Each structure stands twice: as structure tokens, then as C-alpha cells.
Chain A
Amino acid sequence: MGKEQSAMVLSISPHIKSKESVRRIMLSVIITLLPAVGYSIYQFGLHALFMYCISVATCLVSEWVVVRLRKRPFSLRDGSAIVTGILLAMVLPPKFPLYGVVLGAVVAIVIGKQIFGGVGYNIFNPALIGRAFLAATYPVFISSYVQPRMALDAVSQATPLAAMKFEGVMTSYRALFLGGTGGSLGETSALFLLVGAVYLLVKKYIKWRIPLSIFLTVAVLGEIFHLINPAKYPDPLFHLFAGGLMIGALYMATDMVTSPITKRGSVIFGCGIGVLVVFIRLLGGLPEGVMYAILFMNAFVPLINRATKPKIFGTGGRDER
């Protein structure tokens, strides 16, 4: 015994590691998104499928190229580029031109993620950066929606939020919940998004305080406005299920990299998004504000983290991480 064992690994403790990995988390996110993705392809047809494929492919290629150029060791194996690709397609309108998808995906990866240093370093949600860019570049395309195959409501081409805001027309809850409304690929079915997210919540892959505080804030504020003027302002349920709130709260705001690391921070972050969403929707010039609300709050995450630094054990504070 002795010398021949020189190959033994000498790394520092701990010597056992949990099975969690970045790859596993990203894969779980992808799998839980699939029901909603599948449903949107059913609703909007082949073009939707192309959009997903092209978005994911472009994200992967851009990531590969940039990582190569920066001579970084990280591979594509972590799967985060696929998540960005799917999410980007999900927040675009169903008939969005494919060259636009390519452009958005490149921006999402290069500007949204790699410029900051790649996975883990970005401040803003990459998919939302991609979409924000497209919204500025193609304002017409980004707001032209088509009715899904299984339209559950007689409302025109417009999204439920636009209908509410510009025409004063309400969409039924059933349509909103089951996904028979106009809107982006992934935002039309609250049900499928919720089902997927429940799994992630159980696995603790999403910080549950974030969606919950968004929902609560939106509901409470929505209710207040509704009480003030029921004719003009919709009730809280409408707010919750319409537009990008579900996908935003469950899948965008909870992006690990761009959300706070403390519990109290997550609540502040969620409430901030909730307030912004309601104000933009009801008082701003746009029908929908989820995207901007999240991007805006992303910018405050470092500050929120600093402000909610937990009191260290033995310094007299309560446990409030």
C-alpha cells in the first residue's frame, strides 16, 4: 500500500456533492415549458414551431461563437442558451417574421448575456433583452397578434389587454385561463404555465416568493383600481391571467441569475414588479408592462441583495435571509 495510490484526488472539503447541477436545473425548466410550448404550436400552427426551432438554434450558435471568440472553457452543456431560446419565442407574437427571431436571439445571447461575461454574470434576463430590442426595432410586428385556432372568445385580433385598454372590452376568464386568446406564443395559456411551474416550485428551482409577491401585489393593486372605477379598470383576476403576467412571473422574474438571492430580497423584487405592471397597464401608454417591469427590477437586484444581507448568526438579529 502507499505509493501506487498517488492518483488520489486532493481537493478541499466537502468531498460529497449534491446531484444538483446547472444543467439539471436548465433541463427541468425546459421540460416544464414543453406543455405550454406544445399547446402554442397546436394553437398557432407550423410557424410557431419554426419560431421555436430558429430561436433555440440561433441562441446555441451565438453562444458557441462568442464562447469560442472569448476562449472561455464553458460549453453549451449547461443548457441555458436553450432556455433563453424557448423563452424568447414564447414572448413573441405568433406570426413574427423568422429573420426577426434570428435577430432577437442574437441580441439576447450577445448583448443580454455574453457581454456581461456569460451564464451567471448577466444582470438582465437575456430573453427579455431580446424582446425589448425587437419591440423597439419592429414596433408593428411586435403588436400584431392573430387569433389562435381554438379561439374561446369573440374578441378581435387584439390581445385581451389591448382590448381592455383601447376598446374597453373584457375577455372571459375561461378563455384567459385555458389559452384561447390572442397574445404571444407562450402567454396564452395560464394553465399550462402553472402546471409546469408547480414542478419547479417543488424542486425549489424557482424562488416561490417572487411569483407569489408579484401575484399578490398585482391582485391587491388591481382590486383597488377596480373598486375606484369598475367600469374603466378590470378586476384582479383579469390582471393575473391576461397578457404576459403568468409567463413573466413564473419563468422570467424567477430566472435565478437575475433575481435576488435573499428571501426578503425576493419579496421586494416581486412587489416592485407587481406595482410596475399595474401602473404601466392602467396608467401608462402601453397595454402590457410585464417585460419592462421585470427588466427595470433586474437592474435593482444588486442593490436589493446588498440591502437585504442577512444578519449573521450571533449578531443579535433574527433569521431573515
Chain B
Amino acid sequence: MSLFTFKGGIHPPYEKELAKGSPIQTAGLPKSLTIPLVQHIGAPCAPVVEAGDVVKKGQLLGKGESFVSAPVHASASGKVKRIEKSLHPLGQPVLSVVLEPDGNEETAYMTPMGGDPGTLDPEAVKARVKDAGIVGLGGATFPAHVKFSPPKDKPIDTFILNGCECEPYLTADHRTMLERTDDMLLGAKMIGRILNVRRIIVAVENNKKDAIETCKKSAHAEGVEFSVTATKYPQGGEKMLIKAVLGREVPSGGLPMDVGVVVSNVGTAVAVCEAVRDGKPLIERVLTVTGNAAKSPGNWLVKIGTPIGEVVEQAGGTTGTVGKLIIGGPMMGIAQSSFEVPVIKGTSGILLLREEAYMKEGYLPCIKCSFCVQVCPTRLLPSRLSVLAEAEAWEKMEEYGVNDCIECGSCAYVCPSKRPIVQLVKAAKIKVREIKKRENA
């Protein structure tokens, strides 16, 4: 079988064995939930509850006025203790609703719409996706309804369900594909209904043999196509996946819809299915607790707002000195300073890495080995970018495509000089944006 893939990329140690065999377990109710009012890319939500209010599970807590925004809901029934700024995995403190669960788990879901995609009204489904607060669960957290609303002049012909999960260590999507196959495919068909596409394709990396077998049969029965891609990082990057599966190249600075494609993560499809069929908003998600400092790695269904520390403890705690606590995977995840940050919609994993010497090592000048050039999936010159960033030549960096960088980290992974290329690129992107703003002002 020939595999679909793209040029460039890397083969880091995948370490999926740690957690891939353990079925999804449901995490218990924590003492307190901290539910941030921003868990998506876009305008923040304003709270619609007040301290002292008693809420039901699934009740709306906050919503935004703007179209590019996703409402947040209570992930348990209980009492609103406070609404205050608190720690957020993305760094900046964010206004959050602190909820004390009462343990009754009384629900206030939306009206179920039925589970037959063929009879559903696409507009109503789209509205439901919005009301349920669904965002891209792969980690990008872009509001799903926005993604499902391409402008009229960008017809969409293909919907790709992204089950690549190319980030090392993480296995949440893998387990979802195995255990929630039918809901996932139903969700995919609902999304297909909204987008009115001809083709729905499930894409899975060939290192998930069991998931491929399970999904393939069901997919074919449902009239959904299936595509096995090579195991290579970042195969799950939207642009790389579209290139691999359809051979189309998303234009520089463009979006998948520019080539008639929408890509969503498998978890997102399950969330859509639950929201439409059961009326359940996005209040919990599957994530992987893993790493060599995790005592018993596994996959957990966790309520949004649960402090990371509680999840880790329920999952057996840590072993050895934790050198790094990472939200997400090792390639693109974000290192945290505290176990108090809450699980949010975009939390695909909690990665605990043992302290090791390399974490504190410095870096050397670029020795022009060109390793980074060969692996960059967007064909940039990462070495050049990093040198230009050190020289603060921001304008020049724009010319060298800094904004095309998907921050996948492949370059920094292979760099023998251990240069912090992604860090430099991130800083440069902010600078470039500032300069643009000043010019336009």
C-alpha cells in the first residue's frame, strides 16, 4: 500500500506505547473547577452568571458578542464561587468562572436534534455547533462554526477528519477512534452536511493499526473514505495533511478553504455528534496523561476546568523530579510553571517529562548543517530565520517567509546547535505584526 505523505518532516521517538493501550477512563469530579472565559482563538466571552448563582451541568456561563468566539458552559452542576482572573495554560491570566461542584450532576443540555444527518437542517446544525461552544480540539481551538462557515466564493468539496495525531506521546485521538468510532463518523457526516461536501475522508497515520482496522470497516459502511498516511511529524498539520491526501497546496498566507477543504480533529467530530444528537455542549474532553515522569500513563475523559494537578493525581501521580510540565505534545505543547492551570478545550495532553540535562542547555551558533532546511515542511530556511532574528532584521524575516512558519518545531528538533528557532520565530512574528500595524496607522 502506498502511503500518503508530504516532503520534509521528522521521525522523533513517538513514545505512544506508554498510553496507547489504556482505554479512556472518566476522571472524577474535582473539588473546584476553574473555567476560563477564553478557551478559543477569538473574542473573549462575557460572563452571564454571577458569584453565588447555582448552575446546572451544561448551563451557559459566558458568551461573546462577536462571530469569532465560542461560548463556555458549566462542566458540572454546582455553585459559582467567584469570577476572577486566574492562571491559564496559554500564559496570560484570564477571567474565569470558579465553580464548586455539588455532586448532583443535574444537567441542563440543549434540545436533542436527532442523529440522522440526512434529515438535519445544515443551518440549524451549524447554529448548534456554535451554541455548544465547539472549537478545534486538536489544540488550535479555532471556533468550529467559523471554520464551517466558508464565504460563498470558496466552495468546499472535501472534509478531512484528522486522525493523524502526529505529536509524539499523545494517544487521545487514537483511543477516540477506537472507542468512539460510530459517534466520530456520525459527527463527521454532520459536518459534511453543514459544508455540503462531496467527499469525507478520514486520515490516520499508519502507526495506529488497530484504529485503522476498526475505522476502515465502519467508514466504508457509512460511505466515508479512508486514507492511511505515513507516520511522520507533522503529518497532522492541516497544510501537510491536505497536501498528502489530496495533493493540493494551501497557498502561502491562505487557509484550507482556499483549496476547497476543511480539516477537523476526530475529537471535534465526536463533540459535534454529541451536541447535535444529545444536545450536550462541549464540557469535557479526552486527553492523554503521559511522559516518563507520569506514574501510570493513560487516557482520561476530563471535565473542562479541572486543575491539571488533580488529573495527574487521579492518574497515579508523578515519579521522579518533573523537569517539565507540558500542556499538549512535546513538539508544540506549552511548558507550564504550575499544576494549578485548568484543563481547557484545547488540552490534548498533559506531558510530564523528567528533569534532564538537555532542558537547561544553551545553544551554539548555526553551523549551516542544513538539517533544518531539509525537514522544514513549509520549505523555509529556518537557519536563516534564526540568524536574522538574532540580528533583529524583522523586515528581512518577512521576506524569508516567517509568517509561513507553522511553528512545528521540526527545525529545532534536528538542530545540532540546539538553536531555539521556534522561540525566535514566535518573537519575530509579533515584531513583524507590530511593524505592520505601525505602518498602517
Contacts and interface: CB of A to CB of B under 8 A. Distances in A.
Nearest to A205: B369
B6 to A, nearest CB: 9
A6 B364 CA distance: 27
Interface stretch (A44-52, A117-125, A173-181): A117-125
Contacts of A13: 326, 330-335, 407, 409, 412, 422
A15 B353 contact: yes
Nearest to B377: A313
B423 interface: yes
Nearest to B7: A319
Interface string B408-441: 0100111111101011001000000000000000
A8 interface: yes
A314 B378 contact: yes
B340 interface: yes
Interface in A1-36: 1-2, 5-18, 20-22, 24-25
B68 interface: no
A129 B15 CA distance: 46
Contacts of B395: none
A11 B12 contact: no
Residue with the highest number of chain B CB atoms closer than 10 Å, among A10, A25, A121: A10
Given A9-B324, A13-B335, 15 more contacts: A8-B335, A9-B359, A12-B423, A13-B331, A13-B407, A15-B326, A17-B412, A20-B371, A20-B415, A207-B370, A258-B368, A311-B379, A312-B252, A312-B379, A313-B379
Contacts of B335: 8-13, 15
B378 A1 contact: no
13 contacts: A5-B322, A7-B355, A9-B323, A9-B359, A13-B333, A14-B409, A20-B415, A25-B416, A256-B370, A262-B381, A311-B379, A314-B254, A319-B379
Nearest to A207: B370
Interface string A75-93: 0001000000000000000
A117 B367 CA distance: 12
Contacts of A311: 379
B12 A20 contact: no
Contact of A117 (B332, B338, B365): B365
A321 interface: yes
Interface in B258-280: none
Interface of B: 7, 10, 12-13, 168, 239, 243, 249-254, 309, 312-313, 321-326, 330-340, 351, 353, 355, 358-360, 362, 364-371, 373-374, 376-381, 383-384, 400-401, 404, 407, 409, 412-418, 420, 422-423, 426
A21 B416 contact: yes
Contact of A12 (B168, B368, B418, B422): B422
Interface string A236-266: 0000000000000000000011111111000
A20 B404 contact: no
Contacts of A2: 309, 338-340
Nearest to A121: B365
A313 B404 contact: yes
Interface string A184-227: 00000000000000000000110100000000000000000000
Given A8-B322, A13-B409, A315 B251 contact: yes
Contacts of B254: 314
Given A1-B309, A314-B252, A257 B368 contact: yes
A-B interface, 4 closest residue pairs, ranked by CB to CB distance from nearest: A120-B365, A14-B409, A12-B423, A314-B252
Contacts of B351: 15
A316 B253 CA distance: 12
A310 interface: yes
A73 to B, nearest CB: 7
A17 B407 CA distance: 15
A6 B322 CA distance: 10
A319 B413 CA distance: 21
A309 interface: yes
A199 B255 CA distance: 43
Nearest to B372: A261
Nearest to A317: B379
A99 interface: no
B252 A18 contact: no
A74 interface: yes
A304 to B, nearest CB: 12
Interface string A87-115: 00000000000000000000000000000
B312 A1 contact: yes
Contacts of B365: 117-121
Contacts of A74: 364
Given A2-B338, A14-B330, A17-B358, A204 B420 contact: no
A207 B370 CA distance: 9
B326 to A, nearest CB: 6
B412 A262 contact: no
B416 A315 contact: no
B150 to A, nearest CB: 18
Residue with the highest number of chain B CB atoms closer than 10 Å, among A5, A119, A305: A5
Contacts of B13: 16
A257 B367 contact: yes
A278 B322 CA distance: 60
Contacts of A259: 368
Contacts of B415: 17-18, 20
A258 B353 CA distance: 37
Contacts of B338: 2, 5
A313 B362 contact: no
Contacts of A309: 381, 400
A313 B418 contact: no
Nearest to B411: A14
Contacts of A9: 323-324, 335, 355, 359-360
A121 B330 CA distance: 31
A310 B379 contact: yes
Contacts of A260: 370
B325 A8 contact: yes
